[in-house]
Amino acid sequence: MKQRIYVKTKELENFTVTILKNHGLNENDSVITASVLLSADRRGIESHGVARLKRYVDGIRNGIIKLSPKVSTVVETPVSLVVDGGGGMGQPIAYNTMKRCIEKAKNNMICFASVRNSNHYGIAGYYTLMALEKNMIGISLTNSAPLVVPTFAKDAVIGTNPISIGIPADKQRPFLLDMATSTVPRGKLEVYSRTEDPIPDSWATDENGIPTDNSLKVLDNLLNRRGGGLLPLGGGTEMTGGHKGYGLGSVVDIFSGILSSGAFGKNVYGKKGEPPEVAHFLGAINLEAFMGKDEIKKNMDTYIEMLKSSNKADGQDKIFVAGEKEYIANEKNSEKLSIQSKVFDILNELGEEFNIKLEGE
Amino acid sequence: MKQRIYVKTKELENFTVTILKNHGLNENDSVITASVLLSADRRGIESHGVARLKRYVDGIRNGIIKLSPKVSTVVETPVSLVVDGGGGMGQPIAYNTMKRCIEKAKNNMICFASVRNSNHYGIAGYYTLMALEKNMIGISLTNSAPLVVPTFAKDAVIGTNPISIGIPADKQRPFLLDMATSTVPRGKLEVYSRTEDPIPDSWATDENGIPTDNSLKVLDNLLNRRGGGLLPLGGGTEMTGGHKGYGLGSVVDIFSGILSSGAFGKNVYGKKGEPPEVAHFLGAINLEAFMGKDEIKKNMDTYIEMLKSSNKADGQDKIFVAGEKEYIANEKNSEKLSIQSKVFDILNELGEEFNIKLEGE
């Protein structure tokens, strides 16, 4: 059996829109959500692409994701917003908020938004890209279900809490950082669990909070909340800098869940008797706040060229800049892309109910 | 011979002010610089304290640090500044800029400043603390001499580029992250080089860009620009997340050196025929831009208590929050503190010229 199946990119996007619409999400929100998911697949971040469509559908079905949320602006100043997403789909909430941020930053130079009561919003980098398209700096952070163990702790208390920051360049591709603040995301453990290869000791801890090479055990412990989990960037000790990844993950939690009085830490799973909720932090910075678009974009070219033209380590032939691999994948996958055959089958199961079928080769 | 000598904290600060004044730095700037240095020593960050006084004095003597810099505001909007430090002492440039940011954020909610043509500004966290004292979020970034090797590169191209972010709490101590974006700072290698203990493989590479356990070799290579250097947070491979630390270090470089059209990357050593220069990025965010001071500070208490009260890993009895260790040290060291006897001797050599002496016990 083939492990991967090629599908037309546009067809996969249309299919995703149709599935979401048929589950009651309105046209606009379905288009936005599909765009975010496809952007992940195109950029090679499969864990956050259409492979998650079933989870979103399940979220709608069990009421965690509300179809007609009451989205409200809780605080507004010329340079900031606090938005309550009303428990709706994360992608349209974040998309609409980032659009407002970009609009405000046009006139007021900077806008940051802290967003509460939302759901999983896909890849953080999507919203950063929105700012980059307008020649602005983009910032996108989100908290997430607690999977990461703080330094010296036994249990997962914070999420993989990604940080995405993008800065436009002129002739070079933009700089686009999009990273979990854990050493690896859970999806990486899932890959290793399939082959039962041992994982490096900076990735995860067992139920006693001790680094382990057994990915199956970690995933099972997380599922059953038995303790242990992913390690912050830098690993399980202060000697290797694990407290730094833990500190960065905390900053994401604070900017997202605390500035908005939303959920943070363990509460992202759901406060007592309430459904889980997610918080985001989005920002746009106008380059005219500093040395201006033309000069900054030229400086970025110089910087990126400086990094890429540096001497390579023995055995290496290329130095990458943040986002470069994803831009290359995005260009390659514009017409068609490959998805895991397991994902292909799940998508077609979702489609059966509505008599739609995804064609693959 | 005693390894460490106790000195009165206030006396050490006065001594530092006197040395700086006697080298021609004006009263105000001397007081600010001494305050930043003492803050580092009090907080247990010795590498950035009075141990560096001689380097600053040398900088003044050889003209790298200008005594009467022409500091100018290159760009000003209601929420941003670009400042040219005129090659002056880094601490007063950063201090005065952060003060302006805080002032602007009082009325306009947010202010960010990108600062070029400055010098080493001490611990990043000092300027974050200034914002915390005003119940604001503080941000402080700086680039620095190229000591860090990008993922897959052979040579050091970027600095240890620290990130400091602070958020006030109510009854709990503030959250105060202050971290180099390398796994460890150079000072850590110096400690290991004294005993010749092997260093972990996520710390540094040799002249071929290959991880090494030999700290002496790395320090010698850096000094003679032979290649190799410190590794970004996450170490030397993508598997352990090294590209993330490299990405974060780049963000610091961009916000500091590129938004201000200052020096970045290798140019922090000095562009062709010009002296080295350093760039910073400083920011203050008013909590009223989001859910407001009272609510956010209470949320912070809840979050910090959640982290600290989590179950401990086997063999651990305390979970720390960013900045906590430094706050504890700062309280302990308010009356007297200990410095290395080697540093004590160097300080007294500096004092001899002006007939002042530091008393120790």
Interface test with A, best of B135, B291, B316, B324 (most A CBs within 10 A): B291
Q: What angle do CA A50, A53, A57 make, to 5 degrees?
A: 170
Q: What angle do CA B49, B53, B55 make, to 5 degrees?
A: 115
Region of residue A141 (left: phi > 0; alpha: psi -120 to 50; beta: else):
beta
Decide if B146 contacts B157 (C-beta within 8 A).
yes
**Residues B83, B70: Cα–Cα separation, whole Å:** 11
Q: Are strands A72-77 and A80-84 parallel, antiparallel or unpaired?
A: antiparallel
Three-state secondary structure call for residue A166: strand
HSE-up of A303 (CA within 13 Å, CB side)?
35
Q: Residue B190 phi/psi, 5° resolution? A: -65, -40
The two structure tokens encoding residue B38 = 């003492």
Q: Tell me the DSSP string of A196-255.
A: TPPPPTTSEE-TTS-B-S-HHHHHHHHHTT-SBEEPBTT-SSTTTTHHHHHHHHHHHHII
- Tell me the pLDDT tens digit for each residue of B172-185: 999 999 999 999 99
Contacts of A355 (CB under 8 A, 6+ apart): none
**Residues A117, B178: Cα–Cα separation, whole Å:** 30
Contacts of A121 (CB under 8 A, 6+ apart): A36, A90, A91, A93, A94, A127, A142, A278, A280
pLDDT score of B272 more than 90? no
B201 in a structural domain: yes
Q: How confident is the model at residue B187 (pLDDT cuts 50, 70, 90)?
A: confident
Q: What percent of chain B has pLDDT over 90?
A: 94
Contacts of B297 (CB under 8 A, 6+ apart): B135, B168, B169, B170, B287
**Residues B37, B19: Cα–Cα separation, whole Å:** 13
Alpha-carbon separation of residue A90 from A140, A231, A277, A322, B351 (angstroms): 13, 26, 10, 25, 62
**Mean pLDDT confidence for B119-142:** 98
Domain count, chain A: 1
**Residues A74, A72: Cα–Cα separation, whole Å:** 6
A2 in a structural domain: no
A100 in a structural domain: no
A158 beta partners: A148
Q: Cα distance from A254 to chain B (closest Cα, Å)? A: 8
Environment class of residue A352 by beta-carbon count within 10 Å: exposed (0-12), middle (13-18) or buried (19+)?
A: exposed
**A290, B75: Cβ pair inside 8 Å?**
yes
The two structure tokens encoding residue A289 = 């706040």
**Residues A68, B244: Cα–Cα separation, whole Å:** 37
- Tell me the pLDDT tens digit for each residue of B99-122: 999 999 999 999 999 999 999 999
Confidence at residue A1, expressed as pLDDT on a 0 to 100 scale: 64
Nearest to B239 among A177, A200, A259 (CB): A200
Three-state secondary structure call for residue A288: helix
Environment class of residue A331 by beta-carbon count within 10 Å: exposed (0-12), middle (13-18) or buried (19+)?
A: exposed
Q: Cα distance from B50 to chain A (closest Cα, Å)? A: 25
All residues of chain B having their beta carbon less than 8 Å from the beta carbon of residue A266 are 306
**A243, B322: Cβ pair inside 8 Å?**
yes
**B291, A261: Cβ pair inside 8 Å?**
yes
B37 in a structural domain: no
Q: How many CB atoms lie within 10 A of CB B201?
A: 18
A119 in a structural domain: no
Confidence at residue B124, expressed as pLDDT on a 0 to 100 scale: 98
> Which of B268, B249, B260, B263 lies closest to B153 in space, CA to CA?
B249
A221 in a structural domain: yes
**A245, B233: Cβ pair inside 8 Å?**
yes
Contacts of A179 (CB under 8 A, 6+ apart): A162, A163, A164, A233, B241, B244, B247, B248
Q: How confident is the model at residue B51 (pLDDT cuts 50, 70, 90)?
A: very high
B200 in a structural domain: yes
Helices (H), ranges, B109-155: 125-133
**B291, A157: Cβ pair inside 8 Å?**
no
Does pTM surpass 0.90? yes
Alpha-carbon separation of residue B79 from A154, B23, B82, B257, B294 (angstroms): 42, 36, 11, 19, 23
A80 beta partners: A77, A112
CATH at residue A208: 3.30.60.50
**A259, B288: Cβ pair inside 8 Å?**
no
Q: How many CB atoms lie within 10 A of CB A327?
A: 15
Any idea what DSSP says for residue A150? P
Q: Cα distance from A252 to chain B (closest Cα, Å)? A: 11
Q: Which residue of chain B comes nearest to A74, CA vs CA?
A: B291
Decide if A141 contacts A164 (C-beta within 8 A).
yes
Confidence at residue B1, expressed as pLDDT on a 0 to 100 scale: 64
- Residue-number span of the structural domain to which B204 is assigned: 184-230
Q: Cα distance from A206 to chain B (closest Cα, Å)? A: 10
Q: Which residue of chain A comes nearest to B315, CA vs CA?
A: A152
* Amino acid in the structure at residue A70: K
* Amino acid in the structure at residue B6: Y
**B247, A149: Cβ pair inside 8 Å?**
no
> Which of A209, A319, A295, A330 lies closest to B152 in space, CA to CA?
A319
A225 in a structural domain: yes
ipTM value of the model? 0.98
pLDDT score of B135 more than 70? yes
Confidence at residue A2, expressed as pLDDT on a 0 to 100 scale: 76
**B258, A183: Cβ pair inside 8 Å?**
no
pLDDT in tens, chain A (361 residues): 678 999 999 999 999 999 999 999 999 999 999 999 999 999 999 989 999 999 999 999 999 999 999 999 999 999 999 999 999 999 999 999 999 999 999 999 999 999 999 999 999 999 999 999 999 999 999 999 999 999 999 999 999 999 999 999 999 999 999 999 999 999 899 889 988 899 999 999 999 999 999 999 999 999 999 999 999 999 999 999 999 999 999 999 999 999 999 999 999 998 777 888 999 999 999 999 999 999 999 999 999 999 999 999 999 999 999 999 999 999 999 999 999 999 999 999 999 999 999 999 9
Q: Compute the count of residue pairs across chains A and B with CB atoms less than 8 Å apart.
A: 264
